[in-house]
């Protein structure tokens, strides 16, 4: 009996998505609840599980196609177990490349991973995947290539096919066109929309991180032992932001039509890197949470962003955003707000710099911080005040304990 697989409900107000990757090919055996493909929406990538066991007989959509909720995307012939081998006639032909002859692995590799395997000449069956359900990622392949001493991708087929007697140098120049993912298209639209609609302005300050570094060094072992989580810097900035947003409520508000919506809570969106781009899951009621709970939430978001298991609910809402470009080495930036929010705090790398204190030049671990804000709602005085409160709280963490 044939069972049609349809696009599931993807979340409130989400009516369509794109086929990101087919995890099962026609002829493959499928178990109950086994993912057959991933769908990319405006915010997250979700797996589509099979409701039955059997053999995947056909795809009704190709990778990259836009599909609406309820649309049929595949057909499964029921009756075969997950261990039943796929019929030989339906199996995909082995690619005519130099990739290792492990067809089971080849069928489950994404296009990006397959390209990396071919370029670096590694055997995918020997690499442990860190993606969801143990799937290989492009980063896994690159790491494996570096581990075996492969500093650069293998020459492209076009370059290696050049005649040996040719005197002209082979540059290996090439171009590749890749369709933007739905998530990347949405990121582009939202950021451009924020620039066009909001009156964006950024104010800067610098922070002496000595006190936070000292506190972290002193308590990190006890903290990890008690709470089973690493004490990071983000928890300090999240709590400092809560103090600032309480004293300057417009920074925690947003414009809706001709009204200003204020919030008596702080839901902080934390910018996290995911395979398909930047996502911003939300730490809810941050004003009521302690350092341990905040750090656990952030760690959980980071792991699930890498695994591709963040949900629409994780990304919904948010009244303020913190983006940490310092983890990538950024010294200074002007972050763009995350609509409909009105402000975003940008963190950057910590570096030793000479500063004047009490008439003497000393070396201190300093960080530039930036607050980008919508000038339609937030005055310059309010933005500068909010950033100054954050600076003072980080330089004297006791303020966070006594709500000062």
Half-sphere exposure of 134 toward its Cβ, with a 13 Å CA cutoff?
A: 6
2: confidence class by pLDDT, cuts 50, 70, 90? confident
- In this structure, whether the domain defined by 183-401 belongs to CATH 3.30.559.10 is answered with yes
Please report the sign of the dihedral spanned by the C-alpha atoms of residue 104, residue 109, residue 115, residue 119. negative
pLDDT, position 160: 42
pLDDT, position 171: 66
Residue 68 has pLDDT above 90, yes or no: no
Please report the sign of the dihedral spanned by the C-alpha atoms of residue 248, residue 251, residue 254, residue 259. positive
pLDDT, position 404: 62
Round to whole Å and give the CA distance between 260 and 247.
17
341: confidence class by pLDDT, cuts 50, 70, 90? very high
Angstrom CA distances, 135 to 139, 140, 141, 144, stand at: 11, 9, 11, 14
Name the least confident of 27-41, 83-97, 231-245. Answer: 83-97
pLDDT, position 262: 96
Active site residues: 375, 379
pLDDT tens, residue by residue, 92-128: 443 433 333 343 634 456 656 766 776 777 778 788 8
Q: What is the pTM of this model?
A: 0.66
Strands 54-59 and 72-78: what pairing? antiparallel
pLDDT, position 49: 87
Residue 180 has pLDDT above 80, yes or no: no
- In the chain, % of residues over pLDDT 90: 44
Q: Would you list the domain boundaries of the chain?
A: 1-92, 95-160, 183-401
Residue 89 has pLDDT above 70, yes or no: no
pLDDT tens, residue by residue, 183-214: 777 778 888 888 888 999 999 999 999 999 99
pLDDT tens, residue by residue, 279-312: 889 999 999 999 999 999 999 998 888 877 888 7
Round to whole Å and give the CA distance between 291 and 298.
11
Mean pLDDT value across the chain: 82
HEC-encoded secondary structure of 115-150: HHHHHHCCCHHHCCCCCHHHCCCHHHHHHHHHHCCC
State the CATH architecture for 1-92: Beta Barrel (2.40)
């Amino acid at each position: 009996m044939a069972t049609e697989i349809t696009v599931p409900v993807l979340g409130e107000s989400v009516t369509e998505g794109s086929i990101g990757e087919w995890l099962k090919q026609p002829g493959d055996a499928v178990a109950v609840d086994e993912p057959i493909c991933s769908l990319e929406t405006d915010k997250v990538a979700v797996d589509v599980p099979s409701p039955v066991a059997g053999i995947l007989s056909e795809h009704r959509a190709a990778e990259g196609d836009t599909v609406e909720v309820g649309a049929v995307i595949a057909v499964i012939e029921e009756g075969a177990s997950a261990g039943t081998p796929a019929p030989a006639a339906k199996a995909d032909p082995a690619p005519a490349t130099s990739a290792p002859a492990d067809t089971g692995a080849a069928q489950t590799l994404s296009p990006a991973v397959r390209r990396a395997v071919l370029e670096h000449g590694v055997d995918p069956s020997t690499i442990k995947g860190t993606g969801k359900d143990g799937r290989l990622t492009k980063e896994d392949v690159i790491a494996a290539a570096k581990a075996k001493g492969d500093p650069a991708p293998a020459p492209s087929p076009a370059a290696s096919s050049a005649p040996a007697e040719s005197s002209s140098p082979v540059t290996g120049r090439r171009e590749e066109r890749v369709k933007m993912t739905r998530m990347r298209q949405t990121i582009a639209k939202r950021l451009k929309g924020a620039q066009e609609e909001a009156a964006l302005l950024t104010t800067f300050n610098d922070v002496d991180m000595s006190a936070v570094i000292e506190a972290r060094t002193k308590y990190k072992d006890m903290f990890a032992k008690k709470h089973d989580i690493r004490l990071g810097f983000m928890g300090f900035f999240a709590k400092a932001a809560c103090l600032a947003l309480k004293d300057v409520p417009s920074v925690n508000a947003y414009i809706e039509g001709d009204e200003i919506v204020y919030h008596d809570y702080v839901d902080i969106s934390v910018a996290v890197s995911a395979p398909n781009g930047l996502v911003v899951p939300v730490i809810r009621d941050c004003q009521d949470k302690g350092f341990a709970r905040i750090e656990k939430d952030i760690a959980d978001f980071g792991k699930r962003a890498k695994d591709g298991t963040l949900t629409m609910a994780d990304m919904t809402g948010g009244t303020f955003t913190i983006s940490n470009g310092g983890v990538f080495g950024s010294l200074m930036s002007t972050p763009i707000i995350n609509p409909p929010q009105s402000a975003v705090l940008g963190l950057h790398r910590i570096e030793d710099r000479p500063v004047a204190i009490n008439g003497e030049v000393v070396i201190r671990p300093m960080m530039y911080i930036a607050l980008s804000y919508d000038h339609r709602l937030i005055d310059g005085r309010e933005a500068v005040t909010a950033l100054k409160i954050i600076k003072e709280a980080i330089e004297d963490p006791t303020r966070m304990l006594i709500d000062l």
